[in-house]
Amino acid sequence: MNSYTSHITLYDLAFLGTIFIGLNFTLLLWFTERTNRAANRLLGLALFTIVLRMAWMVGIDIHLATYFPRWNWLPLQFSLALGPLIYFYVLKITRPKYKLGWKDMLHFSPLLLEMAVLVLEVKESIKTGAATYDTLTFKEVNPVLQLLAVISVVAYLYMSRRLIRNFHWRLNANSIDRPKYQLRWLRRLLKRFGLFWLLWLPFMAVDYFYYHHQWGLHAYFPLYLLLAVMMIWIAAAAFLRSGVGVPALASTVSKPSPPAELRQKGKWLRKAMETGMFYRDPDLSLTLLAETLDIHHHELSWIINVALRKNFNDFINEYRVVDVARKMQDPAYDHLTLLGIAFESGFNSKNTFNRAFKQLTGKNPVEYKNQLKKEGPTYNLGRYPKVATIISYYEATPKWSHQKLNRNYMFKNYLKIAWRNIVKNKAHSFINISGLAVGIACSLLILLWVKMSWI
């Protein structure tokens, strides 16, 4: 067995970090159940092609062939599939009812050329004993494949931009003004990715005409790292926004319900919210509420926007604010602070609570509660218990009575919310926890590896 010496550089550490982060987001996009799950899987595959490319580069830079001579035979380069995957992701976002057919697979036919080149490289590697990236076939054909990949990605990014533009036109034609549904974030990120991708042209031109293709792989490391970070940024933004339900156009072109029927649906929705108290769920979303009520999320959005003339957040926060105001006057909740009451009513953020409360009542929560004190009955002249403004500050704890100690209740609420999130999104939680564990383990192994190489 050949001896193996590590050759890890700072670029390799950065590449390993992007590989683990990219794999984590790939699994999240693939397994998390969201409204646009099919589109997210296409984007996950696009990110996975970048991850495989980074793994191929790390293997070359750390001289992995010394210990595993045939690892370079693995198909790790799918550059010609990146453009079509991004295009079909945008297509599924803008046209969610579109179903991919066999004709669409023709967009991935250039992959056959890339795989055929790999077969030739493996054959030459078997004959000469050299790695595939050191063969004559690779040195002659790889620049051509890189140029084709640049042209492919630029062309498909342009087609994706046209899809988003046509989506905007359809929205304007139906008189819809919903900025969060207009994919502006995706258009900006794809534009930046396209500009970074065009940097391949000056890099390749300098390498070919000035250095006569003797520049080496290390000169491309900053560009590879920049593109990988940009692709992870797109995947993270898509994952965080995937629960919004981008394509709301399908509900707008359908036949609207009669006014009387729509009013009845609005009354039914308000009654369901009051009896079910669904607003107390801090993770409540339009899709989750629609699943609970057993209706389509487009229909639920139509009822809230047209019948009740509100958006979803204002509709839910209205019930939460009313619930907070009711609990402020209930002595059973005196052991909780205002923030604790807000969490019990469904809010999961202090800023959101303060903003929604002031928007609906015209006062912040403290002013509203002080007003309730002033308007209290005059026959009860006892001193009103002082409300602690700091929940868990240790110096304030002795000043509270034993019955009014609310720090334990706050921690209990935090743990309850965390546990609900873990139970509700089991696959999501498993991927996050396992990804964090693998990342920490790999970091420790790299640290030990580097330390042993110094000894």
The verdict on residue 5 lying in a domain is no
pLDDT at 6: 53
pLDDT tens, 193-244?
Answer: 999 888 888 887 887 777 766 777 777 888 889 999 999 999 988 888 755 4
Distance between start and end Cα atoms, the chain:
23
Reply yes or no on whether the pLDDT at 142 is more than 80: yes
How many separate domains does the chain show?
A: 3
* Structural domain includes residue 76: yes
At which of 309, 334, 350 does a domain end?
309
Do 64 and 169 fall into the same domain?
Answer: yes
Residue 330 lies in a domain: yes
Q: Which residue has the higher pLDDT, 401 or 323?
A: 323
pLDDT at residue 405 above 50? no
The closest alpha carbon to 388, from 409, 372, 371, belongs to 409
Query: How large a percentage of the chain has pLDDT more than 90?
Result: 20
Query: What integer is the mean pLDDT of 358-362?
Result: 82
Task: Report yes or no on 4 lying in a domain.
Answer: no
Do residues 260 and 359 share a domain? no
Q: What is the mean pLDDT of residues 287-297?
A: 79
- Per-residue pLDDT tens over the stretch 35-79: 778 889 999 999 999 999 999 988 888 888 877 888 889 988 899
Q: What is the pLDDT of residues 328-346, one digit of tens each?
A: 888 888 788 888 888 888 8
Which position has the higher pLDDT, 242 or 399? 242
- Look up the domain containing 303 and give its range: 254-309
Flag whether 317 is in a domain: no
Same domain for 351 and 234, yes or no, is no
Q: How many residues does the chain have?
A: 455
Q: pTM for this one?
A: 0.56
In a domain, 314, yes or no: no
CA 11, CA 410: separation in Å to the nearest integer? 44
Q: Looking at the structure, do residues 69 and 155 belong to the same domain, yes or no?
A: yes
| One domain, residues 65 and 186 | yes
